[in-house]
Homo-oligomer: A and B are copies of this chain.
Amino acid sequence: MKIDGRFWLTKENQSFLGVGRIDLLEWIDKTGSINAAAKEMKMSYKAAWERINGINALADQPLIERTTGGKGGGGTKLTPYARELIATFHRFNELHRQFIDRFSEAGNDPERLARILSRTFLTTSARNQLPATLTSINENGLHSTLTLSLAGSDTLLSTITAKSVENMGLSVGCDVYAIIKSSDIKISTSASSNGDNSLSGIIEGIERSAENVEITFRLDGGTLLIALEKHDSLQNFQVGARAFALISPLHIIIGL
């Protein structure tokens, strides 16, 4: 006994984009014509045309551009908006599939079911959640040190327990998030000498309160960091100045 599921987009209570129509749009993109796409999907031209027309009637922005006549008789092209829609649909689909799969695994166990939902949408208080790619793993006793590649050429070291690496099934090439509390990032004019990550960039903004200072910091690679420091630790920074963001590898959590 397995679980299967589907989802679709609706507009004014009418379904207008499901997996079938997305398939059709993709074939149109590949072949350049409704006719050819219909043949690929082994449906009649009329059926394909009716689906496409239905989508177009409901969409608030045009999804396709149709031309008749001309060399080759004309054709149909997707708009950028349609391609965007297809991409997000696929991402939804992937997540939905994972969600359904987890149901199947959990079976009837109420505790596992509760855990599924609680971990399905985890929002953290960490202000920095940076997309990164895992480029190397060095195991060292109970610890493992990961090398992360951020946007641009910025790299980051993170030290987490070897068991976490195992639990999460991390391997080189994984897309992960580097999760860092803003209070664990120090801004300094000089690079680190004790093995902490030192990322060079430019101070983009400073916000002061009675005791603390919040600094918006743009890495050379383009990634944006938010650091929160105690007032007295501030070395008279100003907006636009070059500096380093210092982060201990021990304070970088990996999200998958």
A-side interface residues toward B, CB under 8 Å? 1-11, 15, 60, 84, 88, 91-92, 95-96, 98-100, 102-103, 108, 110, 113, 116-127, 129, 131, 140-143, 158-161, 163-165, 168, 177, 179, 181-184, 207, 209-214, 228, 250-251, 253-256
Q: Is the CB of A7 within 8 A of B1?
A: no
Q: Choose among B99, B118, B159 the residue that contacts A120 (Cβ–Cβ < 8 A).
A: B99
Q: Choose among B102, B118, B183, B250 the residue that contacts A181 (Cβ–Cβ < 8 A).
A: B250
Q: List 20 A-B contacts (CB under 8 A).
A: A4-B15, A5-B6, A91-B110, A91-B113, A92-B103, A92-B113, A95-B116, A96-B103, A98-B117, A99-B99, A102-B120, A118-B129, A120-B120, A122-B255, A123-B168, A124-B256, A125-B254, A125-B256, A143-B211, A143-B228
Q: Is the CB of B116 within 8 A of A121?
A: yes
Given A4-B10, A181-B250, A253-B253, also A95-B121 (CB < 8 A): yes
Q: How far is the CB of A37 from the nearest CB of chain B, in Å?
A: 23
Question: In the complex the two chains form, what is the Cα distance from A131 to B5 in whole Å?
Answer: 29
| Complex interface: chain B residues within 8 A of A1 (CB) | 9-11, 60
Q: Which residue of B lies closest to A58 (CB)?
A: B1
Q: Is the CB of B3 within 8 A of A10?
A: yes
Q: Is the CB of B159 within 8 A of A183?
A: yes
Question: In the complex the two chains form, what is the Cα distance from A15 to B181 in whole Å?
Answer: 45
Question: In the complex the two chains form, what is the Cα distance from A120 to B131 in whole Å?
Answer: 14
| Complex interface: chain B residues within 8 A of A161 (CB) | 125, 127, 182-183, 214, 228
Ordered nearest first, which 9 A-B pairs have the shortest CB separation? Answer: A5-B7, A141-B209, A125-B164, A125-B254, A125-B160, A122-B122, A123-B256, A142-B209, A142-B212
Q: Is the CB of A122 within 8 A of B256?
A: yes
Q: Is the CB of B123 within 8 A of A255?
A: yes
Given A123-B168, A123-B255, 17 additional A-B pairs, CB 8 A? A3-B8, A4-B8, A5-B7, A6-B7, A92-B103, A99-B121, A122-B123, A122-B256, A125-B160, A125-B164, A125-B256, A127-B161, A141-B211, A142-B212, A143-B228, A159-B183, A184-B251
